[in-house]
Amino acid sequence: MSEPFEAFGDVEDLAADLASPDATVRRLAVMALAETSDWQAVPHLVAAIADAAPEVREQAARALGEFDGRAVGEALARAVTDSVAAVAAAAAESLAELRDADAGGALLALVAHPSPFVRTAILRGLKALQIEASLQPAITALSDVEPAVRVQAVGVIGYLKRQETLPALIGAARDGSAEVRLAAVKALSFADQSAEAAAAVSAALKDAAWEVRAAAAETLGRLGVSSASPALVAALADELWQVRQKALQSLGRLRAREALPAIIVLLGDDNPSLRKDAAATLGEIADPASREALATRAQDADPDVRKTVAWALGRL
C-alpha cells in the first residue's frame, strides 16, 4: 500500500549522497536537502557551496535561498564570488531573499569587492535587511564606477528613509547614468514636505530621459510641496504624454488651483487617458471655476472620461 503521507526526509540520510563520486547524484542530494526545508540541512548545503562540480555549487546556491541567517549569508557571500557565472548568478538571486539582519555581516565585508557583479549583488541583498551598518558603505557606493552598483546603493539608502541621506540622494539625482537618477528621484519620495528634495526633483523634470521626468513628476506629488506647482505646470507641455500624465496627477495631489487654465487645455487632448486625468485633477482641486470646462466633456466619446467628468462635477 502506498504511503499516504510525504516523508519529511532524514537530513543525514540524504546528506550521505553528497559524498557520491557522481556529480549528478550530489546535485540531486542538494535538491532533496533543500526540499526538507529543515534547518539541519543548512550545514550540508553550506558545505556543498565548495563542491568540485559547478552544477552542484549552483544548486547549493539556489537551495540556500530557502533558508536565512548568518551561516547562509556567509555561504552565499562566498558563492557570489565563484568563478563560474551561473553559480554567482544563483547566489545573487538567493542573496536577494535574505531577511535576517544577522546575515548582514558577511555581506558588508564584500561591499568593496573588486568585481562589480559582486558589489551589485551584495548591495541588492543588503537592501531588504535594512541595517544601520549598511548606510555608510551605500553612500560611499554612490561614487562607484559602475552604474549598476550605484543603482543598488540608492536602493539601500531609499529603504532606510533617513533625513540625513537627503544630500546624498539629491546628488544621485544628478548622476551621469539615467538609471541611477531614476532610482534616486523615486527614493526621494519619502522626504515629505522637504523643500530641498522638491527643488532637486523639480530640476529632474527637465531630464533627458523620459522615465526620469515621469518619475520626477510623480515624486513631486508625493512630496506635497506646493512651490513645485509651477514646474509641474511647465511639465504639462512635455513632449511625452506619459510625463504630462504624471504631472497632471501630481497637480491634483497638490490641489494646485493656479494650474487650472493649463489643466483645462488638456481636457481637449487627443489622448483619452490625458483627458481622463485632467478631469480627475480638476475634481481633486474642486474649484467651481472649472465647472464650465468640465461640462463640455460630459459627452466625451470615451466612457472612462465621461465617468471621471461626472465624478469631478460632483466634487464641485
For residues 230 and 268, which CB has a smaller minimum distance to other proteins in the complex? Answer: 268
Reported as half-sphere exposure (CB side, CA atoms, 13 A), residue 256 has a value of 30
Residue 237: CB atoms within 10 A of its CB come to 12
Give dist(CA 26, CA 157) in Å, integer. Answer: 40
Residues 245-264, one symbol each (x = binds other proteins by CB under 8 A, - = not), give x-------------------
Taking CA 287 as the corner, what is the angle to CA 282 and CA 292, rounded to the nearest 5 degrees? 75
For residues 144 and 300, which CB has a smaller minimum distance to other proteins in the complex? Answer: 300
Q: How far is CA 300 from the centre of its chain?
A: 37
Q: How far is CA 174 from the centre of its chain?
A: 19
211 binds other proteins (CB under 8 A): yes
Residues 64-93, one symbol each (x = binds other proteins by CB under 8 A, - = not), give --x---------------------------
Q: Min. distance of Cβ 287 from other proteins in angstroms?
A: 18
Give dist(CA 75, CA 51) in Å, integer. Answer: 12
100 binds other proteins (CB under 8 A): no
Give dist(CA 279, CA 274) in Å, integer. Answer: 8
131 binds other proteins (CB under 8 A): no
Give dist(CA 51, CA 30) in Å, integer. Answer: 11
Which residues, at least 6 apart from 141, have a Cβ–Cβ distance to it below 8 Å? 111, 119, 123, 149, 150, 152, 153, 156
Q: Min. distance of Cβ 114 from other proteins in angstroms?
A: 28
Residue 161 in 3-state DSSP? coil
Interface residues for other proteins in 262-301 (CB under 8 A)?
271-273, 297-301
Locate cell 548568518: which residue? 70
Of residues 253, 306, 315, 316, which one binds other proteins by CB under 8 A?
306
Q: Min. distance of Cβ 62 from other proteins in angstroms?
A: 9
For residues 37 and 143, which CB has a smaller minimum distance to other proteins in the complex? Answer: 37
134 binds other proteins (CB under 8 A): no
Residues found near other proteins in the complex (CB under 8 A): 1-2, 4-6, 8, 22, 24-25, 27-28, 31, 35-38, 59, 66, 97, 99, 127, 130, 154-155, 158-159, 161, 183, 186-187, 189-190, 210-211, 240, 242, 245, 271-273, 297-304, 306-307, 309-310, 313
